[in-house]
Structure 1
Amino acid sequence: MTRLRPSQISTSPASRGQATNGSSLKTPYSVEEKPIGSARHVRIVGIGAGASGINMIRTLRKTLTNFELVIYEKNDGVGGTWHENQYPGCRCDVPSHNYQFSWRPNLEWSNFHAPAEEIKSYLCQICDDENMWDTIKTRHQVTGAWWDEARGLWDLNVKDLATGSEFHDDANFIVDASGILNNWKWPAVKDIQAFRGNLIHTANWPKGFDCSGKRVAVIGNGATGVQIVPAIQPGAKKLYHIFRTPTWVVPPRLMSMKLMGSPAWEILKGIEMDANEDFSAPQIEKFKADPDLYNTFVKAVEKDINGAFPVVLNGSPVQAFAQQKVVQYMTAMLGGDEKLCKALIPTFPLGTRRMTPAPGYLECLRTGNVEVITGQIARFVPEGIQLESGEIILLDVIICATGFDNSFCPRFPIVGRNGNVQDRMKFETPKSYMSCALPGVPNYFTFLGPNAPIGHGSVFTLSEHIARYIASIIRKCQTEGIRAIAPSEAAVNDYSEHINTFMPRTAWGSSGRSWFKGGKEDGPVTALHPGSRIHFFHMLEHFRGEDWDYTYEQASQNRFAYLGNGFSTKELDPTFDSTWYLDDAACKL
């Protein structure tokens, strides 16, 4: 742990952030006339009002006192991913009742895997019921942030997208909940603007657009591509599905639970769903009337999700068994077609790419109006796509299911003690502290930063754990006289070393093109946590103060100045039971 004295911070990039502890410069210490537990006022700026940002509002309200909060959201509504992605067939591939906040159960999900519009409505309803709209400024985009060491504040530029005007704001803390799956990208293809038909990215689907009767190409077979293909195939005149790399398409989750012998299967057998996995009206009423049934159902499915980690451990019996079953499933769904099986079934280990359930996807590839193309695209031409073979595919619509920029490089300048984070992220492997903070970037926290548990189940419950962790750090700063806090370079390097040494144990680190590795065939895994979902939760249970650099509010930089005048806020608060410790069960052990 290093204590940083503002007056001793060097302006040179090489030494910025290092402490100088010359005793001759030490400011005399004086007792602060306030009780221990006093929380100084802080201003917090949040970026993004998706699931993580919405949950953060509630967590900060529950955890902190004496603070103000504003959330800047670039879209015209809340929901993040579920506001932006409205393409045909869009839905969550995590079971609905586990893709929700633990503090806000929805008993009326219509389907085992909720459609996008329903998830968006769920998030909007929370903002209504929790009175969050005054905190969220939609159509406002943060365009730059600069750390001011002397003031211990962030200076921010914010653009009002409705008017085009920019203004300045400042904050003691920034909480970046913008995520990594929101900066969509076009495929790296020549002459992409040459096409004269409808060019669409799935994350920017034109409202009301219909592919019926058209010649359509869908580029990409990731989580989005495998949803949109079966959704538009029945109405398309001709559908060309173009991709470079095979992908693991796993059986629907209910089937997987049965095949893998999941304990959840016994409970799910008694849940009323039709062939499309829609819950029956009587089943929804049972959930409402019987909280024990509902909780047993939710916890059983959650336990199944939490138990998926052994599947990605290279050489494990679980992986071998699961891979065998997935190959059998894919072969059956493709009707044993030798050409399709060769194009679709990977030779790399199960889990190297994101494992995706895609009901109807494999089956529809065998229909008469679908053609699978695995050759490289040479360029776009006015009338469609030219393949490297020279063949031109005539098209009316090109749909790019080509994902997002997951480089972790911020979309705007974030200038900390060591310069612009963008510069570092562009030339170095992205590194963070437990996916939540960056070295040399004080009072800046992220949701789902480098090596976050993106592929570890519901982001809703993940965001709850991360939010509590971040809020506890901010409260520590408020009540312990800490002006600025950032993880040390040494701690981040050690954490990164552990990740890089661990990942070869997993399919995530195996050869095979994946966004887990920044779209590379080989390379460091930057998008996943080195362990299970429970491992991540356990890691965040306790704050490791020894891993952080501190600058204190008091000029003397005495770490115990927060002890104050000898009194406690607990004894001075007439509403607080100042003999609480007599009721603490832990004290009686």
Structure 2
Amino acid sequence: MANIDRNDVAYDNKKDPVPAPACYTVKEAPLGVARHVRIVGIGAGASGINMVRTLRTQLQDSFELVVYEKNSDVGGTWHENRYPGCRCDIPSHNYQFTWRPKYDWSNFFSPAEEINAYLGQICDEEGMRDGVIKTDHEVLGAHWNEEQGRWLLTVSNLQTGAHFSDSADFLVDASGILNNWKWPDLPGLHDFEGDLVHSARWPEAADFSLKDKAVAVIGNGSSGVQIVPAIYPQVKKLVHVVRTPTWVLPSRTQILATGPAAGMMKTIELDCEDNFVPEQVARFQADPAFYQSFVKTIEAEISTGFNLVLKDSPEQAFATKQLRQYMTMMLNGDERLCKALIPTFELGCRRMTPAPTYLQTLTRSNVRVVAEGIRRVLPRGIELASGELVEVDAIICATGFDVSFRPRFPLVGRDGNLQDLWRDNVPQAYMSCTVPGLPNYFTFLGPNGPIGHGSTFTLTEHIAKYIAGVIRKCQTEDIKAIAPSQAAVDDYSEHIRAFMPRTAWGSSCNSWYKSSSNGHGTVTALHPGSRNHFFHMLETFRGEDYEYVYEADGTCGRPATRRNRFHYLGNGFSTRELKAHGDQPLHAANGASTARAADIDAKHAASSRLRPQL
């Protein structure tokens, strides 16, 4: 009985204190009524497209949605990246949505154009472009208004240059981690007089050619190792600048053909370039059971590789030995190339990259691998750390993205601008989806998300389901604002820091997985567990890890800071009962639609009075 305000209770010497009458009014609506909310999404790549579909299925008609996409079309990563050789290194039939299977993928590993077309076709067929996804629109800033319980946004129409305001009850950031490309920090880079290209901003074919040119490719990440063999047949000379060795895998079709999926792989007909032959595509289309068996078999295989990144595991030791032998063989045992390209750090510390023909290309007579640093860029080429000038006609920067997790625009919550907060501090999020101090804000693949854990398509489905569930809870339980507590995020981050030294991810190497480029930073880009571990974690919403602000509950004279968390229980009836008796699905409008809200409340009240037998 501690902490009871004696002014709010009536006392009887023989009874427990009882709340005074007339200080609380019952909500005249059934349990389960969902208030209408406005949701703004940022980004129409795979995550944003899947979010549209998930909200439609999970929230039905109790919301309105707009998605702002800065590019001229949908597709995200697969719209932006169109460099030669660009393709996914996850098997095509597992790099798709479970709710939209595609039977006629052309290749075991889909080229970028085909993935982009797949996403565009979904938007067309699902009616996502009409009034939902607005391309050529960029969010310039978002500020949380505590009193309104809404995000206030500034948006730019990139076609007209006009700026306008918008607002949302919930803000869903699906802009992704690998979208804000950056030039390498090289003195004199923009003094170069030849062609200067970034892999994420490849020029149109009609405006750009590498034929018979001397070309430098800087970087040997996932883009660089695809570009090098793709452009080699066109160029006169190729100079490949490698800062750090990287583990290069054989084609995954080779790996799958020797593992648990070997039996299934024997039934799949591919040509020498891993294209599905027409007969194979026809079988996928005609035999859904076989198709599903194939998809599940490959998914099971690619989802079980977590042991490879556990330090000192037998699987890692075996794979390291095999991979070192493979790379040595592909480099023809060349001592200089092996030293420059085969890592001494643990397998998995940097992203492991399948790259068929990449290593073989580096052994060609007109290809030079440069493992020393670049001092500066000059108008005619690059000056190496040794002082040597390497003259080239074109420089291709396959140097990646800003992976700091800092938003590209001011994102101002209760504690200030997240751009500033994460500039000097390690980015932290709750299960990669929500951030303390940012109420009603959700993000896909935020800090410590499973970005390196297989197909992002399936990941987005699980994340979207989690987000939609939280929004639904807010709609039906009179929650005005929800955010994870700092204490919960601190505990989660403590677990991550304690766990990562078990993995190769936490060992010493330069990697974009980390908060620092010196090889010793905190791992911020990966989930502390396996792919299935992440799925399992998101199955249950841990309400105890969140802080809530409730909607006004009709209380008479009660301070605004005090709300009854059970006000949503309503008038004693359930929407399930009303639906069972033929009523339409119910939702309550927000304050902007008071007339409709009154009509709905009247209907609910009348239904309750007329059917006391329920």
TM-score (norm 1): 0.92
Match of 2:211 in 1: 212
| Contact 2:35–2:476 (CA under 8 A) maintained in structure 1 | yes
- What's the CA shift for 1:258? 3.8
1:302 pairs with 2:308: no
| In structure 1, distance between residues paired with 2:300 and 2:32 | 38
1:38 pairs with 2:33: yes
2:426 to 414, 426, 429: 429
| In structure 2, distance between residues paired with 1:341 and 1:54 | 43
TM-superposition CA deviations, 1:177-222 (whole Å, max 9, x none)? 0001000011111111110011000000001022111010000000
Match of 2:489 in 1: 492
Distance 1:145-1:28 versus aligned 2 partners, 3 A rule:
farther
1:62 to 57, 62, 74: 57
Match of 1:529 in 2: 527
- What's the CA shift for 1:257? 2.5
Match of 1:558 in 2: 564
Match of 2:557 in 1: none
1:49 pairs with 2:55: no
| Contact 1:187–1:400 (CA under 8 A) maintained in structure 2 | yes
Please state whether the residue corresponding to 1:71 is helix, strand or coil: strand
Matching of residues 402-481 of structure 1 within 5 Å: 402-481=399-478
- What's the CA shift for 1:466? 0.1
- What's the CA shift for 1:49? 0.1
- Amino acid of the residue matched to residue 56 of structure 1? M
TM-superposition CA deviations, 1:53-94 (whole Å, max 9, x none)? 000000000000311000000000000000000000000000
- Amino acid of the residue matched to residue 194 of structure 1? D
Distance 1:275-1:199 versus aligned 2 partners, 3 A rule:
same
TM-superposition CA deviations, 1:265-311 (whole Å, max 9, x none)? 11011100011100000000000111111111100110011101000
Matching of residues 310-325 of structure 1 within 5 Å: 310-325=307-322
TM-superposition CA deviations, 1:424-482 (whole Å, max 9, x none)? 11000010000000001000000010000000000000000000000000000000000
| In structure 2, distance between residues paired with 1:241 and 1:233 | 11
1:232 pairs with 2:238: no
Match of 1:585 in 2: none
| Contact 1:570–1:576 (CA under 8 A) maintained in structure 2 | no
Please state whether the residue corresponding to 2:422 is helix, strand or coil: helix
| Contact 1:254–1:265 (CA under 8 A) maintained in structure 2 | no
| Contact 1:85–1:204 (CA under 8 A) maintained in structure 2 | yes
- Amino acid of the residue matched to residue 53 of structure 1? G
| Contact 1:144–1:157 (CA under 8 A) maintained in structure 2 | yes
Aligned-pair Cα RMSD in Å: 1.4
| In structure 2, distance between residues paired with 1:256 and 1:524 | 31
TM-superposition CA deviations, 1:543-572 (whole Å, max 9, x none)? 000000000002541110000111111111
1:283 pairs with 2:285: no
Matching of residues 72-151 of structure 1 within 5 Å: 72-134=68-130, 135-151=132-148
> Which 4+ stretches in 1 moved above 2 angstroms?
574-578
| In structure 1, distance between residues paired with 2:211 and 2:276 | 29
| Contact 1:236–1:369 (CA under 8 A) maintained in structure 2 | no
TM-superposition CA deviations, 1:302-357 (whole Å, max 9, x none)? 00111010000000000011111111110111111111111000000000000000
- What's the CA shift for 1:393? 0.9
| Contact 2:257–2:266 (CA under 8 A) maintained in structure 1 | no
Matching of residues 177-256 of structure 1 within 5 Å: 177-208=174-205, 209-256=208-255
Please state whether the residue corresponding to 2:513 is helix, strand or coil: helix
Unmatched segments (≥5 aa) in structure 2: 1-18, 553-559, 586-614
- Amino acid of the residue matched to residue 223 of structure 2? T
The count of aligned residue pairs is 551
Match of 1:16 in 2: none
Match of 1:263 in 2: 260
- Bigger Cα Rg: 2
| Contact 2:154–2:163 (CA under 8 A) maintained in structure 1 | yes
| In structure 1, distance between residues paired with 2:178 and 2:154 | 23
Match of 2:382 in 1: 385
TM-superposition CA deviations, 1:494-535 (whole Å, max 9, x none)? 000000000000000000000001433111100000000000
| In structure 1, distance between residues paired with 2:458 and 2:92 | 12
- Amino acid of the residue matched to residue 54 of structure 2? T
- Amino acid of the residue matched to residue 176 of structure 1? D
| In structure 2, distance between residues paired with 1:117 and 1:172 | 35
- What's the CA shift for 1:28? 3.5
1:549 to 542, 547, 552: 547
- Amino acid of the residue matched to residue 490 of structure 1? A
| Contact 2:256–2:265 (CA under 8 A) maintained in structure 1 | no
| In structure 2, distance between residues paired with 1:108 and 1:143 | 39
Match of 2:575 in 1: 569
- Amino acid of the residue matched to residue 472 of structure 2? R
Please state whether the residue corresponding to 1:426 is helix, strand or coil: coil
- What's the CA shift for 1:575? 4.2
| In structure 2, distance between residues paired with 1:343 and 1:390 | 19
- What's the CA shift for 1:577? 12
Distance 1:269-1:576 versus aligned 2 partners, 3 A rule:
farther
| In structure 2, distance between residues paired with 1:254 and 1:396 | 36
- Amino acid of the residue matched to residue 241 of structure 2? I
Please state whether the residue corresponding to 2:302 is helix, strand or coil: helix
Please state whether the residue corresponding to 2:128 is helix, strand or coil: coil
TM-superposition CA deviations, 1:164-188 (whole Å, max 9, x none)? 1100000000000000100001111
Please state whether the residue corresponding to 1:516 is helix, strand or coil: coil
Please state whether the residue corresponding to 2:35 is helix, strand or coil: coil
| In structure 2, distance between residues paired with 1:422 and 1:216 | 37
- Amino acid of the residue matched to residue 234 of structure 1? P
- What's the CA shift for 1:389? 1.0
